[in-house]
Amino acid sequence: MPGQHFEIRDERFAKLILPGENIAVLWTGGRWAEGPAYFAKGRYLVWSDIPNDRVLRWDEASGAVDIFEQPCRNHNGHTLDLEGRLIACEHRGRCVSRYETDGSKTILADSFEGKRLNSPNDAVVKSDGSIWFTDPSYGIDSDVEGDAAPMEQDGRHVYRIDPSGAITRVVDDMKQPNGLAFSADETVLYVADTGKTHFPDCAPKIRKYPVLADGASLGPGEDFVYSDAGLFDGFRLDTEGNIWTSAGDGVHCFAPDGILLGKILTDEVVANVCFGGRERNRLFICATSTLRSIHVNARGLK
Ligand code: MG
């Protein structure tokens, strides 16, 4: 029945959804869907099916799904850079890479201070062209989502790749940093912590860090919001600053002030989301075995 998949906690959420809209299941058959990225130019979306070591592509015009790349070194998160090139977080490659317009691939980061990264998970591009990414250990914990290997870094952190290629560590106080996104004015970086998978006392949450005046480093972080259902993994913001985040029971929507406005409920765990479509008001949802979408009354940030 239309509307049953919405849980409204605050009346502001009623204005952000379209009550008659159902969730469309666009594709099923994956093991762990992640890393959606929408290409407005070509009207298609790519996403990862991590344990099956493949990137899939959904065509918006035809609805067809095909293999974008397999094997792919167990990609996880994707995003686009300022020139529209695909940026990939590779578990098995233990790197962040970029697809060039000639079809070749460039490794942007695979180590920090001489030691290999763990397994880059998600990335975001800032307006200055820098790429910020998280590096939890999920891709080296077992052979399911990459190759099991000992951790070389002293923990799981967040890094920044300068347009010059220089890499700096920007967050070092998280357990398992995961999804991340900037506020619209880029004064705040939000980062999800899924550390509960390894540290039972680590509450599932999104933290916020002020971006300092140099635009390249962060001030002390603080917890922003906590999950009441599973873990927050990947997330995106809309143009009003609302956060649409993956969670154990669907997608949770938080206002910029941290109030939970409501949920879009699904029967599978959601790992990541992104906005797309002609009006950028279609929310794509990577939910375990499926790719889903729903139109909302909000537009995603570029
Ligand atoms: Mg993730």
**Contact predicate 73/139, CB 8 Å:** no
pLDDT for residue 258 is more than 60: yes
Rg (CA), the chain: 18
179 CA → ligand 1 middle, Å: 5
Q: In CATH terms, are 1-72+238-302 and 78-226 the same topology?
A: yes
CB atoms within 10 A of CB 177: 26
1 CA → ligand 1 middle, Å: 31
Q: Which secondary structure element, helix H or strand E, spans residue 141, and what is its range?
A: helix 138-141
Q: Which pLDDT tens digit goes with each residue over 85-130?
A: 999 999 999 999 999 999 999 999 999 999 999 999 999 999 999 9
Would you place residue 2 in the very low, low, confident or very high pLDDT band (cuts 50, 70, 90)? low
Q: Name the amino acid, one letter, at 253.
A: C
In the numeric block, which tokens belong to residue 255? 């206002």
**Contact predicate 120/209, CB 8 Å:** no
Q: Which pLDDT tens digit goes with each residue over 164-203?
A: 999 999 999 999 999 999 999 999 999 999 999 999 999 9
159 CA → ligand 1 middle, Å: 15
Side-chain half-sphere CA neighbours of 193 within 13 A: 28
Q: What pLDDT score does 273 carry?
A: 98
170 CA → ligand 1 middle, Å: 18
Would you place residue 4 in the very low, low, confident or very high pLDDT band (cuts 50, 70, 90)? confident
Q: Which pLDDT tens digit goes with each residue over 124-160?
A: 999 999 999 999 999 999 999 999 999 999 999 999 9
In the numeric block, which tokens belong to residue 18? 């379209």
Domain ranges of the chain: 1-72+238-302, 78-226
120 CA → ligand 1 middle, Å: 9
Q: What pLDDT score does 19 carry?
A: 85
Report the chain's mean pLDDT, rounded to a whole number. 97
198 CA → ligand 1 middle, Å: 15
Q: Which CATH number does the domain 1-72+238-302 belong to among 2.60.120.620, 2.40.30.170, 2.120.10.30, 2.60.40.1260? A: 2.120.10.30
15 CA → ligand 1 middle, Å: 28
123 CA → ligand 1 middle, Å: 9
Helix, strand or coil, per DSSP, at residue 140: helix
Residue found by looking up tokens 């975001």 in the block: 124
pLDDT for residue 3 is more than 90: no
Q: Which pLDDT tens digit goes with each residue over 215-243?
A: 999 999 999 999 999 999 999 999 999 99
pTM: 0.97
Say which CATH topology domain 78-226 has. Neuraminidase (2.120.10)
DSSP secondary structure code for residue 218 in this structure: B
Considering the chain, what percentage of its residues have pLDDT values greater than 90? 98
**Contact predicate 232/190, CB 8 Å:** no
**Contact predicate 138/91, CB 8 Å:** yes
In the numeric block, which tokens belong to residue 60? 């918006």
DSSP secondary structure code for residue 233 in this structure: -
Q: What pLDDT score does 225 carry?
A: 98
Nearest to 206 by CA among 185, 178, 229: 178
Q: What pLDDT score does 257 carry?
A: 96
Helix, strand or coil, per DSSP, at residue 226: strand
**Contact predicate 286/262, CB 8 Å:** no
CB atoms within 10 A of CB 279: 10
Nearest to 23 by CA among 1, 41, 51: 1
122 CA → ligand 1 middle, Å: 6
CA angle (65 as vertex; 123, 30 as ends), nearest 5: 65
Q: What pLDDT score does 302 carry?
A: 76
Q: What pLDDT score does 163 carry?
A: 98
78 CA → ligand 1 middle, Å: 10
